[in-house]
Amino acid sequence: MISKLLQLLFKHIDAFLMTCLFFALLTSLFVLYSASGQSLERVYAQAVNMGVALSVLWVVANISPQKLERVAFALYVLGVLLLIAVALFGSISHGARRWLNIGFTQIQPSELMRIAMPMMLAWYFASREGKPSATNFIIAGFLLAVPVALIMKQPDLGTSLLIASSGFYVLFLAGLSWKFLVGAAVSLLALMPIFWSMLHDYQRKRIEILFDPTQDPLGAGYHTIQAIIAIGSGGATGKGWLNGTQTQLDFLPERTTDFIFAVFSEEFGFLGNMLLLTLFTVIIIRGLMIASQAQSTFSRLLAGAITLNFFSYAFVNMGMVSGILPVVGVPLPLISYGGTSMVTLCLGFGILMSIHTHKNLVAN
Amino acid sequence: MGAELKNYLHEQHYFRVRLGVAVLVVFSLFALLAFRFSYLQLKQYNHYQTLAENNRISLVPIIPNRGLILDKNGVVLAHNFFAYTLEITPAKVKNLEETIADISKLVEVSSLDRKRFKKIREQSHSFESVPIRTHLNEIEAARFAVNHYRFPGVEIKSRLFRHYPLGKLGSHMVGYIGRINDKDLKNLEESGDLSNYKGSDHIGKSGLEQFYEKQLHGTTGFQQVEIDADGHAVRVLSSTPPTPGDNIILAADSKLQEIAETAFGAHRGALVAINPKTGEVLSYVSQPTFDPNLFVDGIDSENWKALNESLDKPLINRPLRGVYPPGSTFKPFVALAGLEAGKRAPPFSIQDPGFFTLPGKKHRYRDWKPSGHGTVDIQKAITISCDTFFYGLAMEMGIENLTSFVRHFGFGRKSGIDIDNKNGKSENGGLLPTPEWKQRRFKQPWYPGETVIVGIGQGYTLVTPLQLAQATAILANNGVAMKPRLVSHIEDAQSGKKQIIAPVIQDRIALNPNNVEIVKRGMIDVTLPGGTAASVGANAGYSIAAKTGTAQVIGIKQNEKYNESTINERHLDHALFIAYAPAEDPTIALAVIVENGRHGGSTAGPIARKVMDYYLLGKVPATEAAKENKTLTGNTAVTTTIPEEELHD
């Protein structure tokens, strides 16, 4: 009886991926305890976030990819409408219009887009027969550009670029021609100055400080400088859990959210960093394996895009905290404190597990 | 079906190639991160480790207690007390005006406070905290502390304040401290003392506070503390206590100082009294004075304007920087010069017709007494202040001989007294004119007539009250020049050990004792009946050697009569008086200058007498206040009762 219940419970859960997630989430709780100044409250709150996120994961894992494929278009349209609503009625905080008040709570429609975008594009390519034509790619590019432009206008440069990249992954995996890719890369470089002129001042500042954080050591560069000091002073094996001076003495900004990696890095050192990189790599490889074994175009493209999207978040966050990328306000996936991003991530992993565990049913 | 499967397999193959590319990208970008981590954490570890330690550990200076300034009896002239201040760091405050407005709802902020804040702010960097209110009481401090969270960038600080309990008394001597400005910082950097001033925000600006800055300041201590990012100390790692500054003990007596200052009444002027045997300064008066407490935390513009623009110039340190023609007080030194040069030795005498003319010239150098003094020898010439006698003597000696002799008495050069001699605010050296000087200064030759008037202390000759007192002291001490100094002891604030500042002999002038005796006798006679300051010596109970003097403020043309009733008060002659007592064994020598006081004997003399009475007999002038009023309102009544001799010198 119990074994049957367990079987029902774990039928659509990928044990390997789940174990990896479990280690990542456990790490998150420990690092958070240190980063929050040993606040158990914060840890409990994050545990609740994880509980909610894992429930979402379980529900989504139990929905078949076919059903997901059917709601893809509706979800995308909903997302775009919400983004338009944000632009019109959204509430402003920290100089950006990102949140929408829907009565009982506030939502951030750009988070929904992180899943809706790859789903939409995967659905689009799956619904075309045969090898996608150039026209298909142009239409897909348009579907990609609308929400990205809306998010960029909020303004939220980091999220808009990451959502653009999640859409791009679908295009890439769907077989966007190499000629086009190279051409796009070249013209992107050529368009750089125009792009620069379109940026907001704070975005330019961020980019300038990327190349030289010492330009504004007490202002915008302060975060990066303190984070780099934290990482560097961690050394080979770190200062030990709860012993990071940069962390414990408040030098690190945003240390439970965007800069939590600096806390981890200071306390666990190079060794810890390598282990975390390995864990992320294993998760990514597993995700790409699921994509590779997926049986429909939709699930293949979606699994690939979700996995690579996870990669971009991890890379951009660690890159920005260690000072090789601009500070764009992206959390470290699975580790940073925060409910919304945790739920969105687990939703993605739920889709991966759904794709992986439903394929035999399709074959049957 | 087969084609579809083939198509499917083809598509899957194509997809896997793309996945392979993606894996490559993932690996290479993660490798980039790993490389970055190894660079930061392995290669640059030491660098960042140091930075983190510097972040974490901060050296917090502990400001030493500033030494006290005490008079010879231990009366406190300058001390410290703790008080709360409310300070704003402009760089950390968004809207300064609003913040100050909000603060003023909690604690009173007067317009004077605002003005001072504005002034200090203009002189400091935006990251330095600037006091908006000082001396908060406990209730105000508590009221702000409760609301502190509302005011980021505003802090309550408990600070040591300098206070001068006697206020205006002797303020030119004591001086004051003020906030360290850019110029002070530069000086500290040059002298290598900058690190000792970390945390200090005050420094001696004038007087003894400035001269003895090094002793008074003490050595700053340090605490190694672990700090958080807001700079708040989390815990102390190690501590080096500060060494408090030394106390300095003056030779002056605050009671004597009070008597001397009160004796001036509403007059402007200066007095310096010196112990001729040691060089110790017994009294140092510059009138009018000011309240040094105004300067401690930055003087507000209103008070500054009032002090700076006052016609009475209260900020000028007159004994040190006020220069006056010595007038007849110069005569004893001219007389000694003549005697030492072998001229005018008794029984030599002249017949004074009331004027002097240069050979072959018509111009008459008038004696103050138009009818002349009759037969005058050198001793009488001093006693009655005979101008004609000294005109001839100066002429015969020549300007070079005259000035080179009196220079030994400290005229024309700085005394090196222990006050205010730093930072370019140096003592005025006065002026002993010579032909070379005149050529340099005016590109003109020296005229014999100019030598004539130097004989009576007029012309280009300028002295400071300090120089005049020092010259008198040297004469009283028979030519042994002691270096003048205000401080007699330096006391270690911790052990209470007192270190005596040994008297320094600056110079021993080789003088013939007989000649000195002649001059001294002439000066003693000055305060005896028939002398120009007979009333000063009356009923003294001790013998006084003195010389009166008058210095012209504006020139009187030939054949024009000086009529004091028609002259603007500020153009009246300055009254001078030098004296030492007891004449047989002097322990006090002094010089008094009363600006626009007219006659040395009648205005400057009584001041000197009060000082000597207290110093030698402990006598306190009883009806100080009543007398002051009389001198001020009934000038003519007082002067007419004084014999003619005393109306001039």
C-beta atoms of B37 and A270 within 8 A: yes
The pLDDT mean for chain A works out to: 87
Query: Are B514 and B365 within one domain?
Result: yes
In this structure, is residue A354 part of a structural domain?
yes
The pLDDT mean for chain B works out to: 85
Query: Are B233 and B303 within one domain?
Result: no
Q: What is the pLDDT of residue B636?
A: 35
C-beta atoms of A273 and B41 within 8 A: yes
Between residues B591 and B312, which one has the greater pLDDT? B591
In this structure, is residue A5 part of a structural domain?
no
Q: Dump pLDDT digits (tens) for A294-337.
A: 988 899 999 999 999 999 999 999 998 998 887 777 899 999 99
- Among the residue ranges A143-157, B56-70, B163-177, the one predicted with the least confidence is B56-70
B52 contacts in chain A (CB < 8 Å) = 229-230, 232-233, 245-246
In this structure, is residue B258 part of a structural domain?
yes
Q: Kindly state the percentage of chain A with pLDDT values over 70.
A: 91
Q: What is the pLDDT of residue B637?
A: 34
| B328 labelled catalytic | yes
In this structure, is residue B116 part of a structural domain?
yes
Q: Dump pLDDT digits (tens) for A158-185.
A: 888 889 999 999 999 988 888 888 988 8
Q: Kindly state the percentage of chain B with pLDDT values over 70.
A: 89
Of A19-23, A103-107, B121-125, B223-227, give the range with the top mean pLDDT.
A19-23
A280 contacts in chain B (CB < 8 Å) = 30
B521 band by pLDDT with thresholds 50, 70 and 90 = very high
Question: Region B339-366: what's the mean pLDDT?
Answer: 89
Residue B628 has pLDDT above 60, yes or no: no
Q: How many angstroms separate the CA atoms of B605 and B486, rounded? A: 23
Between residues B55 and A339, which one has the greater pLDDT? A339
Q: Kindly state the percentage of chain B with pLDDT values over 90.
A: 46
Range of the domain at B514: 254-308+318-647
Interface of B with A (CB under 8 A): 7, 11-12, 14-16, 18-19, 22-23, 26-27, 29-30, 32-34, 36-38, 40-42, 44-45, 47-49, 51-53, 55-56, 226-230, 234
CA dist list (Å): B431 to B130, B403, B420, B428, B462: 44, 10, 20, 9, 5
Q: How many angstroms separate the CA atoms of B440 and B447, rounded? A: 15
C-beta atoms of A231 and B40 within 8 A: yes
Q: How near does any CA of chain A get to the CA of B283, in Å?
A: 55
In this structure, is residue B11 part of a structural domain?
no
Cα atoms in the Cβ-side hemisphere of radius 13 Å centred on A62 = 11
Which of A229, A248, A295 should we substitute to test contact with B (largest number of B Cβ atoms within 10 Å)? A229
C-beta atoms of A277 and B34 within 8 A: yes
Between residues A52 and A134, which one has the greater pLDDT? A52
C-beta atoms of B40 and A318 within 8 A: no
Helix, strand, or coil (residue B160): strand
Of A127-136, A281-290, B218-227, give the range with the top mean pLDDT.
A281-290
Q: What is the pLDDT of residue B420?
A: 67
B606 band by pLDDT with thresholds 50, 70 and 90 = very high
Between residues A362 and B497, which one has the greater pLDDT? B497
In this structure, is residue B8 part of a structural domain?
no
Which of A125, A173, A249 should we substitute to test contact with B (largest number of B Cβ atoms within 10 Å)? A249
Residue B508 has pLDDT above 90, yes or no: yes
DSSP B126-146: TTS-EEEEEEE-HHHHHHHHH
Helix, strand, or coil (residue A48): helix
Q: What are phi and psi of B178, to 5 degrees?
A: -150, 175
Query: Are B344 and B331 within one domain?
Result: yes
- Among the residue ranges A298-312, B321-335, B349-363, the one predicted with the least confidence is B349-363
Q: For chain A, how many structural domains are there in total?
A: 1
Query: Are B71 and B186 within one domain?
Result: yes
Query: Are B241 and B259 within one domain?
Result: no
Q: Dump pLDDT digits (tens) for B455-478.
A: 999 889 999 999 999 999 999 999
Residue B648 has pLDDT above 70, yes or no: no
Query: Are B262 and B179 within one domain?
Result: no
- Among the residue ranges A153-157, A207-211, A250-254, B506-510, the one predicted with the least confidence is A207-211
In this structure, is residue A313 part of a structural domain?
yes
**Domain end call among B200, B230, B250:** B250
DSSP B418-456: SSS-STT-PPP--B---HHHHHHHHS-PPPHHHHHHHTT
Q: What is the pLDDT of residue B7?
A: 73
Q: What is the pLDDT of residue B640?
A: 34
In this structure, is residue B201 part of a structural domain?
yes
Q: For chain B, how many structural domains are there in total?
A: 3
Helix, strand, or coil (residue B577): strand
Helix, strand, or coil (residue A96): strand
B44 contacts in chain A (CB < 8 Å) = 232
- Among the residue ranges B174-178, B288-292, B571-575, the one predicted with the least confidence is B571-575
Q: What is the pLDDT of residue B525?
A: 94
C-beta atoms of B41 and A265 within 8 A: yes
Q: What is the pLDDT of residue B193?
A: 79
In this structure, is residue A244 part of a structural domain?
yes
List B328, B415, B488, B535, catalytic entry: B328
Q: How near does any CA of chain B get to the CA of A253, in Å?
A: 10
Q: How many angstroms separate the CA atoms of B58 and B344, rounded? A: 76
Query: Are B197 and B75 within one domain?
Result: yes
Q: What is the pLDDT of residue B114?
A: 87
In this structure, is residue A7 part of a structural domain?
no
In this structure, is residue B527 part of a structural domain?
yes
In this structure, is residue B203 part of a structural domain?
yes
C-beta atoms of B15 and A173 within 8 A: yes
Question: Region A264-287: what's the mean pLDDT?
Answer: 96
In this structure, is residue A67 part of a structural domain?
yes
In this structure, is residue A4 part of a structural domain?
no
In this structure, is residue B464 part of a structural domain?
yes
Q: CATH no. for residue B181?
A: 3.90.1310.10
Helix, strand, or coil (residue B286): strand
Q: How near does any CA of chain B get to the CA of A70, in Å?
A: 21
Q: Dump pLDDT digits (tens) for B383-400.
A: 999 999 999 999 999 999
- Among the residue ranges A64-73, A245-254, B102-111, B453-462, the one predicted with the least confidence is A245-254
C-beta atoms of B33 and A230 within 8 A: no
Question: Region B180-202: what's the mean pLDDT?
Answer: 81
A232 band by pLDDT with thresholds 50, 70 and 90 = very high
In this structure, is residue A8 part of a structural domain?
no
Query: Are B241 and B260 within one domain?
Result: no
Residue A31 has pLDDT above 90, yes or no: yes
Residue B124 has pLDDT above 70, yes or no: no
Residue A364 has pLDDT above 70, yes or no: no
Going by C-alpha positions, the residue among A304, A333, A307, A308 that lies closest to residue A318 is A333
Query: Are B561 and B610 within one domain?
Result: yes
Q: Which of A246, A274, A308 sits opposite B34 (nearest CB)?
A: A274
Residue A1 has pLDDT above 70, yes or no: yes
Query: Are B166 and B294 within one domain?
Result: no
Which residue type does B45 have? Answer: Y
Query: Are B264 and B246 within one domain?
Result: no
Q: What is the pLDDT of residue B37?
A: 94
Q: Is A237 on the interface with B (CB under 8 A)?
A: no
C-beta atoms of A229 and B55 within 8 A: yes
B641 band by pLDDT with thresholds 50, 70 and 90 = very low
Cα atoms in the Cβ-side hemisphere of radius 13 Å centred on A344 = 25
Residue A266 has pLDDT above 90, yes or no: yes
B229 contacts in chain A (CB < 8 Å) = 226, 249-251
Query: Are B428 and B323 within one domain?
Result: yes
Residue B22 has pLDDT above 80, yes or no: yes
A245 contacts in chain B (CB < 8 Å) = 52-53, 55-56
Residues with Cβ within 8 Å of B304's Cβ and at least 6 positions away in sequence, in order, are none
Question: Region B605-634: what's the mean pLDDT?
Answer: 73
Q: How many angstroms separate the CA atoms of B617 and B587, rounded? A: 12
Range of the domain at A26: 13-363
